[in-house]
A and B are shown apart, each in its own frame.
Chain A
Amino acid sequence: MSERAPDRRLPAAKTDMFDPGGANTRRRNRNRRLFGWATGLPILLATGLLAILLYDVVTDAFSWQVIEPNNSGVSFSFTDGFRFGGTWERVVTLDLLEQGLSQEEIDETLLDPEARRIYGARNRVELMLWAEGMPLRYVVTSSRDRHLTDLTLAQGFARRSEMEAALEPGQLFVLNPWLDIAFFTKNASRTATMAGLGPALVGSVMLILLVIAMSVPLGVGTAVYLEEYARDTASTRAIELNLSNLASVPSVVYGILGLSVFVRGIGLGPVVLAGALTLSLLVVPVVVIAAREAIRAVPGTLRQAAYGLGATKSQVVARVVLPNAIAGITTGVVLAVARALGETAPLLLVGAAAFVPRLPDGILSIFTALPIQIYAWVSENDVEFTHVASAAIAVLLAILFVLYAIAFRLRRRFGRVA
């Protein structure tokens, strides 16, 4: 730059440039403001896109529906408050009374966890708001109900009176919040109303725990080696170059690696462990980069002081460097976890199942995960599953926002600007 000839196209200094009130200065200031706004616009757009995405997800997690209860009168409405457990038990009790059971038999049934699960799966109890004649009342529906229409939140509000007027006897116009308490515990189902996140949540938690257990030692170990031990040799440079390339290998390629090596190569099959191994390899570069930055920020004087006290190199690393770098490393790990939580393609390739009927019971059982479940539900050709997908996305995004908030707070607290 410095050797370059001065650009002759730059306007020559004008005599009025020191005249703050002059027309030229005013024009310059206006242009400068316009330019500032124009360059800031994409940030507004990006923020707007985020807002629209959130709005879309949240409103899509609700829908107005006309349902036709098809369960011999087991459709109750409650006006007595918002008690989840209590409401559920009253519903099941009433359901069983209809079937002719005595109160003792019902009490016994309710103590049996398997029976509770079956009734929980059949009766969607928690919240479905009956809109006919305000105020809203809770409605119990079951998998046997027919769902006749499906309107979005806005449409439903706009056409509520019209829809209510057109109801036939036995039909209800309800507000169906797909994201309710039961959604978190229900198992997978072919019926949208009955489908829940249970196996996906458990699968994702297992994956994340395994990923942390594997990628943190590997990533931090690599970072410590590169920062504290490695000399500047060709092989060190090769490791660094390799890491920066690994960070930008498409995640689907990691999926192919997982499929070929873990699933088929060592014969694990499409199990939790294979998914976790694949995701761990995927996030190691993220952990390494964050950990290296954190280790580099530890002042050399601390190390020298420790050496001066007679510490060996491994003691310096374990008792001085790592404790001082822990905040930065934690930030990196949280971001890596957020990445692993949302990754879909590698798990699809490793063979995470779209339909897991029950909870995974160990690291060698087949599994599903939040993003896989979302992909499966979005791919379903059914508008009701769109709402289920939205509800699942809302859960995933909420978890991610919490993780990001933690990461940002850690970074701010420990005074390091990324």
Chain B
Amino acid sequence: MQSRESVQPVRSLGALRLSRAENARERLVMGLLLACAVITILTTVAVVFVLARETIGFFLDPAVTLWAFLTDRTWTPLFSNQTLGIAPLLVGTFLVTGIALVVGVPMGLASAVYLSEFADDNLRRRTTSVLEVLAGIPTVVLGYFALLFVTPLLQKVVPGLNLFNPLSAGLVMGFMILPTVSSISTDAMQAVPRSLREAGYGLGGTKIDLVMRVVLPAALSGIVASIILAMSRAVGETMIVSLAAGQRPLLTIDPRETIATMTSFIVQAATGDQPAGTLASRSLYAVAATLFTVTLLLNVISQAIVRRFRERYE
């Protein structure tokens, strides 16, 4: 942006001065474009406003206290005897996310190493396309796959596995986040300058030494950022968990049990018919606000890591 200041039309030369009509038109165009940019800000404002208004309404309800919301161990807003502790949903969310990270991060990092250090340009282009297609598979399709292909397969291996379980949802979600981890980490590794690699070879390092002790440490900020971003995607993922992990809030870390996550509760509450303004309907907003806060925090952390810990090689 700054670099193009020199391209601005020269207004000081009288012969080139814009007429009044031209000036008005230029201002109009700029105003319209600015309006577009402002709408993107308004989207965020609207999200925050909507979530905040209903969530405040939720906590103003005499049946709810913030303390109970954070510490109660059961979540039954759709039942007649409501208890509203978000812990089962949070634990469920992070259980699925954890499984997804365990599956997705090592694979994503390994494929990033392969793409950045081993593959030639042609192979890299093809592979990137495959990963991009994988990232573009709609999550409802992945949910179908987890429920109807992966779960029956796992049930033969894992005893006591429920039809709806976080294990198969997490496994499939691991493949969903693989492209996120891989593409950002590949970029970070490719940004490691050649001079560092050559210095490593000059010291007699093997390719493995080089990857493990030069490239990975130098690209660490990008790698960590990619993992946090993948985590944020996994936390916000809805359809895989709705279809394959179930909709029964249960405070457990047993990956064979049917659980519920924040997102699957939102879908469950929204597709049932809860009249607007009731506590059950507002609980949806409270959960969504929690979800939004968690993902926003993860994004902010990821951006901060990139900014602060980026190695500069000038």
Contacts and interface: CB of A to CB of B under 8 A. Distances in A.
A408 B44 contact: no
B232 A245 contact: no
Contacts of A259: 270
- Residue among A14, A39, A243, A249 with most chain B CB within 10 A: A39
Nearest to A53: B145
A57 B131 CA distance: 19
Candidate in A31, A56, A254, A312 with the most chain B CB atoms within 10 angstroms: A312
Contacts of B47: 249, 253-254, 256-257
Contacts of B270: 255-256, 259, 348-349
Interface residues of B, number: 106
Contacts of B267: 252, 345, 348-349
B196 interface: yes
B44 A310 contact: no
Contacts of A345: 139, 238-239, 242, 263, 267
Interface string A111-132: 0000000000000000000000
Nearest to A44: B111
Interface stretch (A157-165, A187-195, A229-237): A229-237
Contact of A250 (B54, B178, B204, B238): B238
Contacts of B263: 250, 252, 345
Interface string A9-52: 11111100100000000001001100110111111011101101
A166 B118 CA distance: 58
A222 B37 contact: yes
B81 interface: no
Interface string A322-348: 000000000000010011011111001
B36 A400 contact: no
Interface string B5-40: 001010000001010001001100110111111011
Contacts of B25: 312, 314
Contact of A35 (B26, B46, B208): B208
Contacts of A257: 43, 46-47, 50
Interface residues of A, number: 108
Interface stretch (A67-75, A98-106, A372-380): A372-380
Instruction: Report whether over half of chain B's contact residues are helix, strand or loop; otherwise say mixed.
Output: helix
A404 interface: yes
A390 B276 CA distance: 35
Contacts of A11: 204-205, 209
B147 interface: yes
Nearest to B9: A307
B130 interface: yes
Interface string A198-230: 000000000000000000011101101111111
B29, B51, B141, B271 — most chain A CB neighbours (10 Å) = B141
A416 interface: no
A345 to B, nearest CB: 4
B108 interface: yes
A155 interface: no
Given A225-B34, A253-B292, A312-B9, A401 B133 contact: yes
Given A257-B43, A314-B25, A46 B107 contact: yes
Contacts of B138: 341-344, 371, 396, 400
Interface string B121-141: 000010111111110111111
B291 A252 contact: yes
Given A254-B47, A345-B267, 18 more contacts: A11-B209, A39-B110, A42-B111, A46-B111, A49-B175, A50-B130, A53-B141, A219-B36, A222-B39, A248-B295, A248-B299, A252-B263, A256-B47, A257-B43, A307-B7, A312-B9, A314-B29, A379-B243
Interface of A: 1, 6-7, 9-14, 17, 28, 31-32, 35-36, 38-43, 45-47, 49-50, 52-53, 56-57, 60, 217-219, 221-222, 224-232, 236, 238-239, 241-246, 248-257, 259-261, 264, 281, 284-285, 288, 300, 303-304, 307, 310, 312-314, 317, 335, 338-339, 341-345, 348-349, 371, 374-375, 378-379, 386, 389-390, 393, 396-397, 400-401, 404, 408, 417-418
30 contacts: A1-B196, A12-B204, A31-B208, A32-B208, A42-B182, A46-B175, A219-B36, A222-B40, A225-B30, A225-B36, A225-B37, A226-B1, A236-B1, A241-B303, A244-B303, A251-B236, A251-B238, A253-B47, A253-B236, A253-B292, A256-B288, A257-B50, A312-B26, A314-B29, A342-B137, A345-B263, A345-B267, A371-B140, A378-B148, A404-B129
Interface of B: 1-2, 4, 7, 9, 16, 18, 22, 25-26, 29-30, 32-37, 39-41, 43-44, 46-47, 50-51, 54, 106-108, 110-111, 113-115, 117-119, 125, 127-134, 136-145, 147-149, 175, 178-179, 182, 196, 200, 203-209, 211, 213, 217-218, 229, 232-233, 235-239, 242-243, 263, 266-267, 270-271, 276, 284-285, 288, 291-292, 295-296, 299-300, 303, 311, 313
